[in-house]
Structures are given as C-alpha cells and as structure tokens.
Amino acid sequence: MLQAALPEVISFPFGQIVVFLMFWSHLDDKKTLFKTSLSSYIFVGIFLMIFNILNLAILDPSITSISTFPLLRSVRLIEIADFLERLDPLIILLIYIGIFVKMTAFYLGAVLGLSSLIKISHKKTTMIVGAFIFTISFTSPNFIYHIWIGFAQNLKYHFPIFQIGLPLLLALIILIKGGRSSKSG
C-alpha cells in the first residue's frame, strides 16, 4: 500500500506545498498562515475527492483509469431538461484557467527561489527562468511524450527529490540550527 502512495499520491496534489513555501516567507501576517494553509488543503482535498468519486460513479473505474481528462468525459454526459448540455467548453476554460494560475505560481516560486539562492534581482531572474521555460518547452515532440515524461520520469525520480527529500533536509537543518542557537543563548 505504501508503494502505491509513494510518490504518486504524495506528489499530486500535495507536493505543490513546496511552491507555497516560497510565498510564506513574504507574508506579513504569520499568525493565520497555518490555519489558512490547513483549511485550504482540506478544502482542496475534499473537492478533489468529490470529483474523483463522481468520475468513478459516472464513468466506471475502467474508463476513468484510461481517460486523460475524466472530468471532461463525465461532463459530456450531462443533459438536464434539454437545456444544460455540452458544458465541455466551460470545463476546458476552467482547466486552462487552473493551469495558468498553477504555472504562474510555479514560475513565481522558481523566480523567488533562484533569486534568493544566487543573490541577483528578481528582474534578471525572471528573464533567466523565462528563457529556460521557453527553451525547454520545445523539447516535448507531442502530448503523449509530455505525459510520459511527467508520469514515468518526473513523478518517480525528480519530484520525490524536490517535494520530499529537500524539504525534509531543510527541516532537519532548521532543527539543528535552532537547537544550536537555543543552547548557545
């Protein structure tokens, strides 16, 4: 069971918390950070669970497991009073808006992280990260290859390093430094 959960279930959607770590240091009100973050993750977790249950109930597990976008396939089956049907353009629009917001957050997180690591301005780092993203976007010849890289390579080999390994290492370093400073003080 643990083998099924690692790294797939941990990486999506909960691995994205690493991106939010980049933004937490820029917040003014640190008191509500934990409460807001926890409630947001609980809400999103319940929301995704409900949609997964609906997809499984509407489509069947065998169809859901092979579908690239099961929600889109489920929405195509909606017909209410010969009025509400063909809602797929709305769902596609919502998917694109979600992708835009998510990729913008990743881009900003990468810019903030890199600029703090190499100590150059955000403007220069924005150009460097943007040029890298633009260049690497041409490496995938088609959608199937893109999905294969994402699930077969990144999810198993790269994501655990950045979403589990490095945060645990940084937490350990913080604990060690915190322990040393409290002993010396």
- Tell me the pLDDT tens digit for each residue of 82-137: 777 778 888 889 889 988 998 999 899 889 888 888 889 989 999 999 999 999 88
3-state secondary structure of 111: helix
Token pair, residue 111, equals 């810019």
Token pair, residue 3, equals 């083998």
Q: What is the dihedral of CA 30, 34, 37, 39, to 10 degrees?
A: -130
Number of alpha helices (DSSP H) and beta strands (DSSP E) in the chain? 11, 2
pLDDT at 6 over 70: no
Q: How confident is the model at residue 4 (pLDDT cuts 50, 70, 90)?
A: low
Report pLDDT for 15: 66
Q: With contact defined as beta carbons under 8 Å apart, do 14 and 41 qualify?
A: yes
Q: With contact defined as beta carbons under 8 Å apart, do 11 and 155 qualify?
A: yes
Q: Which residues on adjacent β-strands are paired with residue 79?
A: 85
User: Percent of the chain having pLDDT more than 90?
Assistant: 14
* pTM, entire model: 0.74
pLDDT at 184 over 60: no
Report pLDDT for 134: 94
